[in-house]
Amino acid sequence: MSLLVGDIGELVTNDPELGVLTDAAVVVEGDRIAWVGAMRDAPAADERLDAGGAAVIPGFVDSHAHLVFAGDRAGEFAARMNGEPYTGGGIRTTVAATRAANDDTLRAGARRLVGEARRQGTTTIEIKSGYGLSVEDEARCLRIARELSDETTFLGAHVVPAEFAGDPDGYVRLVCGQMLAAAAPYAKWIDVFCDRGAFDGDQAREILTAGAAAGLIPRLHANQLGPGPGVRLAVELGAASADHCTHLSDADVDALAGSPTVATLLPGAEFSTRSPYPDARRLLDAGVTVALATDCNPGSSYTSSMAFCLALAVREMRMTPAEALWAATAGGARALRRDDIGVLRPGARADLAVLDAPSYLHLAYRPGVPLVTTVLHNGVPQ
Ligand code: NIG
Ligand code: FE
């Protein structure tokens, strides 16, 4: 079955050869893109979806989200808006609620967020564990995550849970041993929150190395709450991505610039914690590959909207609208080491979003407005 998406006023392909096309069309065969070009040259197809002159973009690739949890922390957010700092201490509140919830509750919550994201144009979403922090609870959170995404991440090293408060080294041993063994069948990636109040550089190295030996690929929460070794460790270990990158030294930027590690910026977290935004311009000007993601979680960034994060990146981080859209699509794909998503060219996955706007510029120009009208995921209108 083939589908022609026609009468596209502006088509952002993210393909260096194709660029941004006007009066364009896309032909989809099954779950893949078969053809991209000018509307007047479009081949016939079995079905037709008319974009009515609107803009079409690759589906957003949200490469950093924490979706398996119970409860919320709206009160903590309100206190922060009133001046309380964000320390990550609230993670333990969500751990207690998550452990107490049954599978159906956790599944329903994660499914709701995936659906919410999908309606807003997100066609790939990475999902981390990290609110179970016991062997059984991490494994079940990842099992549920795996039902919803192939991009799943074991984050047993989110914080040291309360019952190990007096024995953090014992917890690191548990993460590297039994917990990793139970989680690995459901995960592609391994992540550590390497920051003050969580895990230090040596602990993070030990955990990521054990994960890599079990076949998981490292990524890292790094330099969110303060300066530290996280970003340089990510580069040293060949991690796919260093995420947050809020507090960077020149050495951190140089290390990223000379490496394939992506800097994933999460401005929803700075918005919701009243922290300074990361310096995207410094990274881009140094030649670092930048991705944008939501960090969707109940503590530091309870948004599933990639468009909102893109608008923040443009307004608060001085990214151009073109850089921000690339980072939210192709950049996310790089952070997940995928070349079949985040781009609209023959052979790529048929994941795209039609906007109720003549240009992608409206994503940042009209913040907070739900501009995504139709989403194609694996070639199927959602
Ligand atoms: O990426 N910083 C660590 N983890 C999450 C926040 C988790 C939470 O506060 O519940 C983050 O911001
Ligand atoms: Fe996160």
Give residue-wise pLDDT tens across range 263-310.
999 999 999 999 999 999 999 999 999 999 999 999 999 999 999 999
Q: How far apart are the first and last CA of the chain?
A: 16
Distance CA 221, CA 216 (A): 16
Q: What mean pLDDT is predicted for residues 195-224?
A: 98
3-state secondary structure of 195: coil
The pLDDT tens digits of the residues spanning 166-178 come to 999 999 999 999 9
| Separation of CA 49 and ligand 1 centre (Å) | 40
Closest listed residue to residue 343, CA positions, set 15, 20, 39: 15
pLDDT band at 59, cuts 50/70/90? Answer: very high
CA-CA distances (angstroms) from residue 230 to 38, 149, 155, 217, 287?
46, 26, 15, 16, 19
CB atoms near residue 331 (< 10 Å): 27
3-state secondary structure of 377: strand
ipTM over 0.90: yes
Q: Is 88 in the pocket of ligand 1 (CB under 6 A)?
A: yes
Q: Is 299 in the pocket of ligand 1 (CB under 6 A)?
A: yes
| Separation of CA 379 and ligand 1 centre (Å) | 33
pLDDT band at 150, cuts 50/70/90? Answer: very high
The closest residue, in CA terms, to atom 8 on ligand 1 is 299
The pLDDT tens digits of the residues spanning 22-50 come to 999 999 999 999 999 999 999 999 999 99
- The predicted pLDDT at position 128 comes to 98
